[in-house]
Structure 1
């Protein structure tokens, strides 16, 4: 029985270390989540978010290094939710700046979290479409709609069990948002055409 105490001590030590790492991961994930939300909010306000994005990416790389020996925590919902938010923010920033999509490997983000962030970015892009329609910039609204279409087609390629990537519900949401946005843009285009005809008739009178 003497060795049982040694075994228990080793297990206890490992669990204690894992618990401490988990607590740090929780705080880090919250920081990434908070920064990502602030980035999305600032993007919609037209503010410069480069500093916040660098901070969020640095925090992500530190978290990944911390969890190198704890892949089960890195791949848990605890961390994935924060990385999903970061992916959404980075994708939205690239779209607004008309840049290439950010690479998940370079960001240090797992593919599943990236896909979930991509799905959420569709909804954020709809907000830009509606804003451009309010401004009367139909051409730019249509460009954003085209991006939504492209992103949706990519999302629909991934037909896997939720255990691998829980994306089905987000695919359904993206489909609904896309259909609504198509309708909004179509109404705006028709209204613009009608107004143009009215203006033309008015000039002839």
Structure 2
């Protein structure tokens, strides 16, 4: 009799548990395609900036920000199930794409709120965008646009200087110090590339003026 009662209790409890996890799985299945779409669109935005194809970027930014809002809403329906960093990479990718677009095209810096991401995600995005700025600068050098290259180098330098002030334990900012160290190396190589290009440009000018 007691065994039968325990089985009935287990059956009722595990029916409830399965229903709970079924609901969580449905939420996860809704989040995954949003994650994939957002990461893909962020990559497209960065590629378009490099190609000077800016026309539909604002609409894509609106879409990815909307995707982030949807993911945040879905996660809020399952408190304690999805960790804080479940969509952190997506948010960092979003921040990187939006920051890169605004710096290169509008010569401005969007706020974390304008990117629809949190402060910590914004810091990681700033560290990641340094590499994309270097790629754009190298393109400027190939096109002999030294003015734009020098301007972007100044922005890259300021980004690194502010990132360097985030001197906190790795447990608080996991992986960020490594990204900042990488940014320092990227900055040094870019400075050397621009210095060499400026020297060659001056030499070419002097030879033509002789």
The TM-score by the shorter chain falls in which range? 0.7 to 0.9
The aligned residue for residue 195 of structure 1 is 204
Q: CA deviation at 1:74?
A: 5.9
Q: CA deviation at 1:117?
A: 1.6
**Aligned pair 1:177/2:183, yes or no?**
no
After superposition, the Cα gap between the structure-2 partners of 1:5 and 1:106, relative to the gap in structure 1 and judged at 3 Å, is: farther
Q: CA deviation at 1:32?
A: 0.6
The aligned residue for residue 50 of structure 2 is 44
The aligned residue for residue 70 of structure 1 is 78
The aligned residue for residue 38 of structure 2 is 32
Q: How does the TM-score come out when normalised to structure 2?
A: 0.86
SS in 1 for 2:102: helix
Q: Which moved more, 1:91-100 or 1:146-155?
A: 91-100
Question: Would the aligned equivalents of 2:39 and 2:93 in 1 still touch at CA under 8 Å?
Answer: yes
After superposition, the Cα gap between the structure-2 partners of 1:162 and 1:26, relative to the gap in structure 1 and judged at 3 Å, is: farther
In structure 2, C-alpha distance between the alignment counterparts of 1:41 and 1:158, rounded to whole Å: 29
In structure 2, C-alpha distance between the alignment counterparts of 1:189 and 1:159, rounded to whole Å: 34
In structure 1, C-alpha distance between the alignment counterparts of 2:159 and 2:181, rounded to whole Å: 13
In structure 1, C-alpha distance between the alignment counterparts of 2:163 and 2:79, rounded to whole Å: 26
Please, what is the CA RMSD of the aligned residues? 1.9
In structure 2, C-alpha distance between the alignment counterparts of 1:171 and 1:196, rounded to whole Å: 37
After superposition, the Cα gap between the structure-2 partners of 1:118 and 1:111, relative to the gap in structure 1 and judged at 3 Å, is: same
Question: Would the aligned equivalents of 1:26 and 1:79 in 2 still touch at CA under 8 Å?
Answer: no
In structure 2, C-alpha distance between the alignment counterparts of 1:5 and 1:43, rounded to whole Å: 57
Q: CA deviation at 1:4?
A: 4.0
The aligned residue for residue 3 of structure 2 is none
* Number of aligned residues: 200
SS in 1 for 2:77: coil
SS in 2 for 1:112: helix
Q: CA deviation at 1:108?
A: 2.6
Q: CA deviation at 1:61?
A: 1.2
Q: How does the TM-score come out when normalised to structure 1?
A: 0.88
Q: CA deviation at 1:42?
A: 1.0
Q: Aligned match of 1:53 in 43, 46, 61? A: 61
In structure 1, C-alpha distance between the alignment counterparts of 2:28 and 2:203, rounded to whole Å: 60
